[in-house]
Amino acid sequence: MLTFDIARPDEGLRAELTEKINNLAKPKGSLGRLEELAMQIGLVQQTLSPRLERPMNVIFAADHGIADEGVSLSPKEVTRQVVFNFLSGGAGVCFLARQHGFGMKIVDAGVDYDFPPRDGLIEHKIRKGTRNFLHEAAMTEAERDDALAFGAATVSDCHAEGCNIISFGEMGIGNTSASSMWMTLLTAIPLTQCVGAGSGLNEAGINHKYKVLKKALDNYRGDGSAADVMRYFGGYEMVMAVGGMLRAAELGMLILVDGFIMTNCVLVASRLYPAMLDYCIFGHCGDEAGHRRVLDYLGAKPLLDLGLRLGEGSGAVCAYPIVDSAVRMLNEMHTFEQEAITKYF
C-alpha cells in the first residue's frame, strides 16, 4: 500500500501569527472562528501572509455492490446519470464551483457503465462497481492500493497546476452504507447511530438498510484495521478520496472537507496518518444521520450547518468564502499602529 510522509505543521510561527492577529484593529478574539482559521492556515502554509491559489473540487464516482440489496432509494443507474450532469455543468456543485471560482475534475473510479470518450472525464475505472460486501469484501487489496495511488496522483496533478486548497466530492449510489460501516467499525459508535436516510429513505427503508448492514457487520471476519475496513466495505471513489487527502496533506495543501461520506474518508485517512487532520477544514455539518457524531469523534468544528446532504463536495465549496475571509483578514486588515488607533479590548 502506498505510503505518505505527513508531518504536523511547524509550530514555530504560532507566536508571530498570534501577535499579528491580536494587533489587527479589532477587539482581541472578536472575529472568532476567522481568527482560528487564520492561525491554522498560516501554520499550514508557514507564513504570516497566506494565499489561496486555484481552488479545486475533485469528484470521484463509482458504483457499489451493496446497492443490489435495496439500501438506497435511488437505483444504481443514477450514478452515471449524475456524472453526465457534472460534465454538462448542471449539477448542484457546479453552480457553487462557478460562484466561488473552483476548478473541477471528474474521475470515473468504477462506475458500472461504459462512458463514451468525453472531455472533462478522467478515466480510471478499477472495476464496474465494487463487490457486494454483504457476502464478500468490496475490493481486493490490489484494487484498494490502485485506488489510493490514483487518488494521490490526481491531487499531485492539481498541485502541479498551482492549487493549494482542495475539496473532494463523490458520486456513488450506496456510499452512505459504506460510510456507515467505516464509521461504526473505526469509532465503535453503534451501527444504529451511523445509519441514515441517504438519498431519501423513509423509516421502513432505513430499517431495511440497517438490517442489511448489521448482517454484513456480523459476517465480517477482518482484523478491524483501517486498511482492512477500507478495503472490505469501501467504494473505489471513497478510497481514491482517502488517497487524495493523504497526498494533499503530504504536499502541505489545505483540505476542505464535505459531508458524511468525505468526513468518513477523513476518519480512515487520519487512522492511517493522524497528522493529516491538521490540514483539514470541515465545511459543514449535514443532515445525514451520523454526520454530527463522526465530526464530534474527530473533534471537528464545521463552519456551516445548512441542512445539506447533497454530497459532490457542495458543502465544502459552499464554505470556501469563510476560509477566504480568514485569509483576507490577515492580509487586508490594518493594525492599531497603522491607523493610530488606541488599542481596545
Residues 19 and 90 in one domain: no
Short-list 303, 295, 291, 293, CA closest to 277: 295
Scored b (16 or more CB within 10 A) or e, 39-67 reads bbbbbbbeeeebebeebbbbbbbbbbbbb
Question: 184: domain range?
Answer: 56-323
Residues 18 and 79 in one domain: no
Is 312 a residue of the active site? yes
Is the sign of the CA dihedral 161, 57, 292, 190 positive or negative? negative
Catalytic residue among 35, 36, 312, 337: 312
Q: What is the pLDDT of residues 233-275, one digit of tens each?
A: 999 999 999 999 999 999 999 999 999 999 999 999 999 999 9
User: Tell me, what DSSP letter sits at residue 48?
Assistant: S
How many independent structural domains does the chain possess? 2
Per DSSP, the three-state class of 308 is coil
> Which CATH number does the domain housing residue 94 bear?
3.40.50.10210
Torsion, Cα of 151, 154, 156, 160 (10° steps): -170
List per-residue pLDDT tens for the chain, 345 residues long: 999 999 999 999 999 999 999 999 999 999 999 999 999 999 999 999 999 999 999 999 999 999 999 999 899 999 999 999 999 999 999 999 999 999 999 999 999 999 999 999 999 999 999 999 999 999 999 999 999 999 999 999 999 999 999 999 999 999 999 999 999 999 999 999 999 887 788 999 999 999 999 999 999 999 999 999 999 999 999 999 999 999 999 999 999 999 999 999 999 999 999 999 999 999 999 988 899 999 999 999 999 999 999 999 999 999 999 999 999 999 999 999 998 988 887
Residues 86 and 149 in one domain: yes
Short-list 275, 271, 170, CA closest to 228: 271
Q: What is the pLDDT of residues 312-344, one digit of tens each?
A: 999 999 999 999 999 999 999 999 999 898 888
